[in-house]
Amino acid sequence: MHMQPGVFAIYTGVIDTAPHQHHQIQITLPQVSCVLEDVDGTLNCAHIIPSNHTHQLKMEAGWIILVEPHSDLGQQLYQRYSSTQVSPLHNLPTLDHNASMAALLARLGIENGLGHTALDPRIAQLVTQLDNSLKNAIQLEPTYWRASKVAAQMHLSESRFLHLFRAHMGIAWRPYLMWRRLICAIGYLQQQQSITMAATYAGFSDSAHFSRSFKKQFGLNPKTALKQVKR
């Protein structure tokens, strides 16, 4: 598993998700076999899925990479591949679970980005604060990240902050923060923490809230996902 600003990559064993969608661009690099079912039909190869595109994934083993669209990496992907439809990725060599982030990105023909350098400086600083919370395993306390409090720190009204964030990130503040909490919780699970403790540390009200949010984002529950992830 790899985490860095703007991107989350994980190697998984057998996976079979329910139909779902998310704001992040998804790249799937199967090591064995893979079937993607979506509104445009079925694919049996590596592929890239655009933001907010409903899909269902069945894969025996391989990498799943999620990239924030407004990150530097996301912008590179948009320039290289279609941003509106699923695109097959032909003739990509397979990569096992030991692959580095650099190797994964090299397979896609993109360079490792710096984060979110094209954003409004205030939004970029906020995203960096969230990155540090994730990197340093700081608990994502719900009260700290309330829109009203974040807006006050930026010397903006709450409505102005929410508008500015959506305009620059392409997603509202609350669902984006939910995404960051999920990634934070996954990091704790990778450290052998229980689902209950991971949910608490990441700022969820309880494990049930975390599980519901996880399934909505990834199309399967965290217990099932955890069994398939290479630690």
Q: First-to-last CA distance in the chain?
A: 8
At 173-202, the pLDDT tens digits run 999 999 998 988 888 888 888 899 989 888
User: For position 35, what pLDDT does the model report?
Assistant: 78
Sheet of 25-30, strand order? 2-4, 7-12, 62-67, 25-30, 47-49, 87-88
Fold of 121-228: Arc Repressor Mutant, subunit A (1.10.10)
Fold of 2-107: Jelly Rolls (2.60.120)
At 8-20, the pLDDT tens digits run 999 988 888 999 9
Q: Where are the domains of the chain?
A: 2-107, 121-228
At 101-138, the pLDDT tens digits run 888 888 777 777 667 777 889 998 998 888 877 665 55
Rounded alpha-carbon distances, angstroms, from residue 151 to 61, 108, 154:
43, 37, 5
**8 Å CB contact between 159 and 222:** no
| Residues 6 or more apart whose Cβ sits within 8 Å of residue 121 | none
**8 Å CB contact between 94 and 31:** yes
CA dihedral over 70, 73, 79, 80, signed as positive or negative: negative
DSSP state of 5: T
d(CA 62, CA 93): 12
